[in-house]
Every structure is written in C-alpha cells, then in structure tokens.
C-alpha cells in the first residue's frame, strides 16, 4: 500500500522539483520509504507503506532485471504467490507482489491486468517500447487521478499531489458542482478541480508517443458470471461460501500486524468469523463504541468477539472526543465528500493500536442487497403498470401525498410518481439524491441544471446490457451502487481517511470473482426476505440469529445535535463564506440553515454538512471559483 505520482512530457530538470513536491504531499500514505526516478521526459515517484516483504528490496520505483521497465505501484496483488509460480522463468530478486507485476507484464504485456486479483493502481514505463501503462483495479478500490494539458500528463494517488506539482491550476470545476450538490460527491471521471480526471475502475491509460488512450478491461455489467445458472440454491450457497472464504484467506497475506473492523453487523461479523477459521494467529478486532446506548453497537461487537475468541479492543469515544478529531478529518479530505469522518476515527484508533492492515465489511450491503433500495426498486419492477398511468394523475397523487405528510420519504415518492419512465436509470438516481432539482435550481440560481450524472452513467450501462443478457433486477441495483455511491463515496472516503493514518484497509466482499458470481445469481435466490439472505444462508451457522436479525445501525453519530450546538458557529461561518463566493445563492443557503435549525423535516443534517465540507475543502486547497 503506497502513494504514487508521475509527470510525463516535462524535461527532467523541471520535472524533478515538481515530482518531489508531489511525493512530499502524499507522505502520509507511505511513511516507510520513498523514491523517484527521473529520466528524459518521464518522472515517477512513490511513497511506501511496507506490507509484503518489509526489506529494502521492496523499494520503488522498481526496475526490471533487464532495466527496460520501471514501475510504481499502490495496492496489493493477493494472488501474487500463485502468479510467481506461473512465471517461474523470470529471475525474481524479491518476495514482493510489486516484482510480480513486472514479471507478468514481461509475459503478457498490458493484458497482465487480467491475471491480477487485488486492489491496485500502478504506472509502468516500458523504455523499449516508449510506452507508459497506467492501470486501476476492477472495482475502484484504489484511486488514480490525472491531469493532461499541452502534451503534459501528470498522475497521482491523490488530488493534493497533482495540485502540489504547480502544473495544475487551482480552479473549481463549475460543471461538477451540480453533481456534488445532488450526491455529496463528484462521479468519476470528473472531479471538483477543473482539468483533473479520475481514471474509472476497470480502466487503463496507455501513453504511446505522448498520446494517451483510455481503454476498459473489465465491467461489472458485462463480466458477470453465468456459473449459477441452472444450479440449486444449495449449490449456490456452497459456491458463495467458498468464494468468500477464499477471498478472506487471500487478504490475510501480510508481513505486518493485522486486524479487522468489527461493528457487530452482518458484514463485519462474517469477515471476522471467516478470518478466525483461516488465520494462523488470533484475530485482533476493533470496535468504536459510545456511552449513549442509541449510538453504540458495543454489545453486538463484544458478542462476536467472544464467539470467535478474538483479541478485542473496544475504543469508547465521547462526543467531545469525536468533535476534537473533526478538524483533522476535514484536513485529511483529499476530495470533498459528505462522508468520511467516521472512517477517519476508526482508522486512527486502529493504527494507534499497532495495526498496519485491517479487513473491512465494506461492499457486503451493495453485493447482497443490504439497503432498502433493493426491495423498493425490485418492487417497482413488479408494478410497471403504474408507470403506464397518465403522468398528470401520478403527479397529482405525489403532490397530494407530499402536502399531507411532508417528509424526505414523501418527497421521494412524489418525485418517483412524477417520472416519465421507471427504468433503473430513472428510478435509482432518486434514491441517493440529497436535494430535489427544484431546490437545486434555486440554490444554483439556474432555470436548467446540467444533466444528472448518475442517470447518464446508468443509461450507458442499460444501453450496453441490452446488447448482452440483461442482469437480474437486484444485480442491476448492485451495479448501480458499485458505479455510483460505493465507488465515488464509500471507497474514496475509505482510502483517503485510512491512508491519512497509513492504515491499509482490505475489502473481501469486493473480490472480483465473488462479485462476478453473485451478480449472476437469480433474484429468487438473492431477494432479502431476511437481511442479506443469500449471504447469511451461505454462512450456515457461522453467525448467531441475534446478529442476523438485529436492527441495522451503521456508524451513527449525533450530527444533528452537534450542528445546532457545539458546531453551530463553525457551521454558520462556513455557510456564510460559501454564500459569499457567488457560486450559490446566499439567501437560499441562509434559508436552508434556518430551516434546519427550526427542525424542518426536509432539511436533515446531511443536507447541511456536505455544504460545510465543500467550503472547508475550497479554503484548505485554495481553489478559485
């Protein structure tokens, strides 16, 4: 796990100081080692967090035996040992997974990525071919940003490194503002900075003769497996259990102390239970708990820790403890997001306990239907006849409901009834949208907003899937979650907040082989009649029923109270500054703030917090609007 950076197309004399500034900007990602290679018009840099082969042999940039290839790599290749045996003709000098990438490239060229099981972003310079290959993993677990202008291409693991180069103007991407206001994030390939792009998951960038070409090598909607077709439920359960067990086992390969985040929910409990079956040492688990019963999952985490005999660490936080960490969490935010501080806190205390790598249950909800949206959108497919009713009649019913019982849920139903189409590309985008477009038009002071980015992304998937066999409905929702919320919020936040503490987080539920298989499972076997039924059934008696059937909590904090209390002055100041920029209507911002403080059910804390985060990020990064 590391941070990488590079500059292509700039003479070495000018590139070196810029590259060194980029590497320094991501020192937190890799405190164990650093290195740069600057030759001709290619400059590559890396910060190393040592996980596999802790010796100096793992130093990067790593050069191939013949000197023709130079590699910088962020992430882990979990099947590197199997690949090393397959590539036995290569003269290996280290025990790292980094060198396996060099050997695989020598054998298979850019197709080497098809053989990797892991999370990764890497850049490989082939001197003999005068080519540079930049690759990002299939699910987008590891980030890769780049900027291209006037024959120069700059890339890095974080936006802040690109800004540190001095080549990237600190200019706001105005077109991305609508996306952020709708979804508390900006969807790749766009970012909040003008000109900076994010390489999409399952994509690569090949630079030949100074000309970059983006290509795709994997897609969830196209590469799902049909192996489950015709199988019985018992057979499918056995397959899922085996795939998940092997996924956990692969992610225990490390030469450093490791552990697991344990909330006591289904996903983290499943990971810990499977770890206890395959780990060669006692599993260390970490749970953040609170004195306030309504926010604490302590009893569930403790029960799982006892069941699997883990070395359990319970970190009890008070609201004041958490409030003290918020400035540092905001400082660690490489790209603005409405989420993240929770992961910052968990990662901080885990790292302080001496852990360098931790497993997480992230991805379980998205893969196995853990959110209410799976049931809702599946139901809509059964009631398509409603969409055939006159649009005016549906809108009248929606408006009436919203007037009788104003709430966020009523507003969503009203918007749904007002849609011209109930295809997934129209219905799903409403589920994650914070403010309806009617409010955003006032906030942005525009009659027409830019097209909905989530709708565009899903429409592209729908168009592609029509050429192939259409995915089951629940799998369509999973793909929507993968390509929007999970990729652009959960995974990005997990990376930036964990790596702020030089902690590597691994996610067994996002093993691509497991993902491909589960996406191909028919809805009749995957529908969550009980919470994540296919997952829990596949685990057999691994988890007790009180864990499976417990209320879903997540990491809940009293943000509503904080913004009206201890954080009131901070929040108000940030909103006023945001209003003074001329990007948003200052009066509408003030009205939203006043409605929130008055207890308006339509204005929850999340609809205020991400606006505060935006202003704070703009200030910290000196972004001009």
Q: Is the per-residue pLDDT at 465 higher than 80?
A: no
Residue 197 within a domain: yes
What is the pLDDT averaged over residues 574-591? Answer: 96
2 is catalytic: yes
Q: Cα–Cα distance between 350 and 310 in angstroms, integer?
A: 15
Q: Are 64 and 138 in a shared domain? A: yes
Same domain, 436 and 544: no
289 forms beta bridges with 316
Lowest mean pLDDT among 310-324, 427-441, 552-566, 581-595: 552-566
Task: Specify whether the backbone of 363 is left (phi greater than 0), alpha (psi in -120 to 50) or beta.
Answer: left
Buried-exposed string 499-515: b where 16+ CB fall within 10 A, e elsewhere? bbbbbbbbbbbbbbebb
Cα–Cα distance measured from residue 390 to residue 395, given in angstroms and rounded to the nearest whole number = 9
Query: Both 44 and 154 in a single domain?
Result: yes
C-alpha–C-alpha distance, residues 625 and 616, integer Å? 13
Rounded to whole angstroms, the Cα distance separating 355 from 365 reads: 25
User: Residues 78, 79, 84, 87: is their CA dihedral positive or negative?
Assistant: negative
pLDDT of residue 500: 96
Q: What is the pLDDT of residues 139-197, one digit of tens each?
A: 999 999 999 998 999 999 999 999 999 999 999 999 999 999 999 999 999 999 999 99
Q: Classify burial at 156, counting beta carbons within 10 Å of its beta carbon; exposed 0-12, middle 13-18, buried 19 or more.
A: buried
Confidence of residue 363 (pLDDT cuts 50, 70, 90): very high
Alpha-carbon separation of residue 433 from 36, 430, 436, 478, 488 (angstroms): 42, 5, 7, 17, 14
Average pLDDT over residues 62-88: 96
The per-residue pLDDT for range 509-536, each reduced to its tens digit, is 999 999 999 999 999 999 999 999 999 9
- Angle at which helices 437-444 and 174-183 pack, to 10 degrees? 140
**Residue scoring higher pLDDT (342 or 593):** 593
Please report whether residue 568 resides in a domain: yes
Q: Are 43 and 123 in the same domain?
A: yes
Interstrand relation of 42-48 and 62-63 (parallel, antiparallel or unpaired): unpaired
Over 90: is that where the pLDDT of 408 sits?
no
Domain boundary among 462, 478, 494: 478
- Coil vs helix vs strand at 36: strand
**Structure tokens that stand for 246 in this block:** 């092997």
Higher per-residue confidence, 317 vs 302: 302
Mean pLDDT within 495-521: 97
Rounded mean pLDDT of 464-477? 77
pLDDT confidence bin for 483, thresholds 50/70/90: very high
The answer to whether residues 496 and 399 belong to one domain is no
Distance in angstroms between the alpha carbons of the first and the last residue of the chain: 34
So what's the pLDDT on residue 392?
74
Residue 274 forms part of a structural domain: yes
Q: Any idea which of 123-127, 249-253, 340-344, 405-409 has the lowest mean pLDDT?
A: 405-409
Q: CATH number of the domain that 307 lies in?
A: 3.40.50.620
Answer whether residue 271 shows pLDDT above 70: yes
Res. 78 pLDDT band, cuts 50 70 90 = very high
Give the single-character DSSP code of 171: B
If one compares 304 and 400, the residue with the highest pLDDT of the two is 304
Cα diameter, the chain: 74
226, part of any domain: no
Residue 224 inside a domain? The answer is no
Which pLDDT score, from 0 to 100, does residue 342 have? 82
Asked if residue 553 belongs to a domain, the reply is: no
Q: What is the pLDDT of residues 282-294, one digit of tens each?
A: 999 998 877 656 5
Query: Taking a C-beta distance cutoff of 8 angstroms, is the pair 479, 515 a contact?
Result: no
Higher pLDDT pick, 79 / 401: 79
Determine the average pLDDT of the residues in 448-473: 80
Q: Which of 325, 253, 318 is nearest to 82 (CA)?
A: 253
**Confidence label for 295 from pLDDT (cuts 50, 70 and 90):** low
13, pLDDT greater than 80: yes
Rounded to an integer, the average pLDDT of 16-22 is: 98
73 in the same domain as 149 = yes
Residues 383, 335 within the same domain = no
Is the pLDDT score of 399 beyond 60? yes
> What letter would DSSP give residue 606?
H
Asked if residue 227 belongs to a domain, the reply is no
Residues 501, 433 within the same domain: no
For residue 418, the model assigns a pLDDT of 67
Q: How confident is the model at residue 72 (pLDDT cuts 50, 70, 90)?
A: very high
Residue 177, domain CATH: 3.60.20.10
Average pLDDT over residues 463-481: 80
pLDDT at 290: 72
DSSP-assigned states of every residue in 281-316 = SPPEEEEEEESSGGG--HHHHHHHHHHTT-EEEEEE
Q: What is the DSSP string of 432-496?
A: H-SS-HHHHHHHHT-SSPPPPHHHHHHHHHHHHHTTSPPPPHHHHHHHHHIIIIIIIIIIHHHHH
Q: In what order do the strands lie in the sheet with 145-149?
A: 33-39, 42-48, 2-8, 152-156, 145-149, 196-198
- Distance between CA 357 and CA 8 in Å, rounded? 32
Q: What is the pLDDT of residue 18?
A: 98
What's the pLDDT score for residue 9? 95
More confident residue, 255 or 294: 255
Single out the residue of 266, 176, 283 nearest to residue 537, CA to CA: 266
Q: Is 446 within the bounds of a domain?
A: yes
Dihedral, 518, 521, 523, 529 alpha carbons, nearest 10? -60
Alpha helices (runs of H) in 12-54, residue ranges in sequence order: 12-25
Mean pLDDT for the chain overall: 91
Note whether 211 and 273 are same-domain residues: no
421 class by beta-carbon count within 10 Å (0-12 exposed, 13-18 middle, 19+ buried): exposed
For the chain, the domain total comes to: 4
Cα dist. 123→102, 113, 157, 199, 436 in Å? 11, 12, 11, 12, 40
Q: Is the pLDDT of residue 126 over 60?
A: yes
181 in the same domain as 110: yes
43 SS3 class: strand
What is the model's pLDDT at position 67? 92
For the stretch 229-253, pLDDT in tens is 999 999 999 999 999 999 999 999 8
Q: What is the mean pLDDT of residues 579-599?
A: 96
**Which range in 96-110, 310-324, 365-379 is most confidently predicted, on average pLDDT?**
96-110
Of residues 184, 182, 220, 180, the one with CA closest to residue 200: 220
Which of 478, 500, 520 terminates a domain? The answer is 478
- How is residue 210 written in tokens? 């100074």
What pLDDT does residue 409 have?
Answer: 65
In the predicted model, is pLDDT for residue 439 greater than 80?
yes
% residues pLDDT > 70 (the chain): 92
Query: Which residue range(s) make up the domain with 329?
Result: 233-369+479-548
The secondary structure of residue 32, as a DSSP letter, is: S
Question: What are 37-58's pLDDT values in tens digits?
Answer: 999 899 999 999 888 877 888 8
Query: 6 forms bridges with which residues in the sheet?
Result: 44, 155
Length of the chain: 625
User: Residue 272 belongs to what H/E stretch?
Assistant: helix 266-278
Does residue 411 have a pLDDT over 80? Answer: no
pLDDT of residue 1: 63
Stated pTM of the model: 0.94
Q: Is the pLDDT of residue 333 over 80?
A: yes
Query: Do 239 and 336 share a structural domain?
Result: yes
pLDDT band at 380 (very low <50, low <70, confident <90, very high): confident
- Lowest average pLDDT, out of 179-183, 333-337, 464-468, goes to 464-468
- Whether residue 338 sits in one domain with residue 435: no
Last residue of a domain, one of 419, 451, 478: 478
């Amino acid at each position: 796990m590391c941070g990488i950076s590079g500059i292509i197309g700039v003479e070495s004399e000018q590139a070196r100081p810029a590259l060194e500034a980029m590497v320094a900007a991501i020192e937190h990602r890799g405190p164990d080692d650093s290195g740069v290679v600057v030759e001709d018009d290619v400059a590559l840099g890396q910060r190393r967090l040592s996980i596999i082969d802790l010796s100096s042999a793992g130093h990067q940039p790593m050069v191939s035996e013949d000197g023709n290839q130079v590699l910088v790599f962020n992430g882990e290749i979990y099947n590197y040992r199997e690949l090393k045996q397959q590539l036995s003709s290569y003269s290996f000098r280290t025990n790292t997974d980094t060198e396996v990438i060099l050997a695989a490239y020598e054998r298979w060229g850019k197709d080497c990525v098809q053989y990797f099981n892991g999370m990764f972003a890497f850049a490989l310079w082939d001197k003999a071919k005068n080519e540079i290959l930049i690759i990002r993993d299939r699910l987008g677990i590891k980030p890769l940003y780049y900027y291209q202008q006037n024959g120069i291409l700059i890339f890095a693991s974080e936006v802040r490194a690109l800004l540190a180069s001095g080549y990237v103007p600190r200019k706001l991407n105005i077109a991305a503002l609508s996306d952020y206001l709708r979804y508390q994030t900006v969807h790749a390939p766009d970012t909040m900075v003008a000109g900076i792009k994010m390489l999409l998951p399952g994509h690569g960038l090949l630079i030949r003769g100074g000309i970059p070409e983006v290509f795709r090598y994997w897609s969830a909607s196209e590469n799902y497996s049909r192996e489950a077709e015709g199988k019985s439920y018992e057979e499918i359960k056995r397959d899922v259990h085996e795939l998940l067990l092997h996924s956990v086992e692969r992610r225990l390969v490390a030469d450093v102390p490791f552990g697991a985040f344990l909330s006591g929910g289904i996903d983290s409990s499943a990971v810990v239970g499977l770890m206890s079956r395959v780990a060669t040492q006692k599993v260390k688990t970490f749970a953040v708990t609170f004195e306030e019963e309504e926010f604490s999952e302590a009893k569930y985490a403790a029960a799982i820790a006892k069941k699997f005999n883990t070395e359990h660490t319970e970190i009890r936080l008070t609201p004041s403890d958490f409030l003290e960490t918020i400035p540092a969490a905001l400082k660690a935010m490489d790209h603005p997001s409405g989420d993240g501080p929770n992961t910052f806190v968990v990662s901080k205390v885990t790292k302080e306990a001496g852990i360098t790598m931790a497993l997480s249950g992230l991805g379980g909800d998205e893969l196995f239907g853990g959110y209410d949206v799976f049931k809702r959108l599946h139901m809509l497919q059964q009631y398509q006849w409603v969409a055939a009713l006159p649009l005016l009649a549906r809108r009248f019913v929606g408006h009436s409901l919203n007037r009788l019982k104003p709430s966020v849920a009523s507003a969503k139903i009203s918007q749904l009834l007002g849609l011209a189409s109930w295809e997934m590309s129209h219905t799903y985008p409403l589920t994650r949208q914070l403010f309806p477009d009617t409010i955003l038009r006032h906030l942005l002071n525009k009659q027409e907003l830019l097209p909905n980015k989530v709708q565009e992304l899903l429409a592209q998937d729908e168009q592609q899937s029509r050429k192939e066999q259409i995915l089951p409905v629940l799998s369509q929702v999973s793909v929507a979650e993968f390509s929007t919320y999970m990729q652009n919020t959960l995974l990005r936040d997990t990376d930036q907040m964990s790596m702020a503490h030089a902690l590597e987080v691994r996610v067994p539920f996002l093993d691509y082989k497991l993902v491909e298989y589960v996406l191909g499972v028919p809805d009749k076997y995957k529908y969550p009649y009980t919470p994540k039924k296919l997952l829990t059934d596949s685990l057999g008696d691994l988890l007790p029923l009180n864990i499976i059937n417990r209320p879903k909590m997540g990491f809940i904090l009293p943000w509503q109270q904080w913004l009206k209390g201890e954080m009131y002055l901070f929040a108000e100041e940030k909103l006023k500054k945001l209003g003074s920029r001329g990007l948003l209507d200052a009066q509408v911002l003030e009205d939203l703030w006043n409605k929130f403080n008055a207890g308006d059910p339509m204005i929850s804390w999340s609809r205020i917090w991400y606006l505060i985060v935006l202003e704070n990020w703009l200030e910290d990064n000196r972004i001009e609007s």
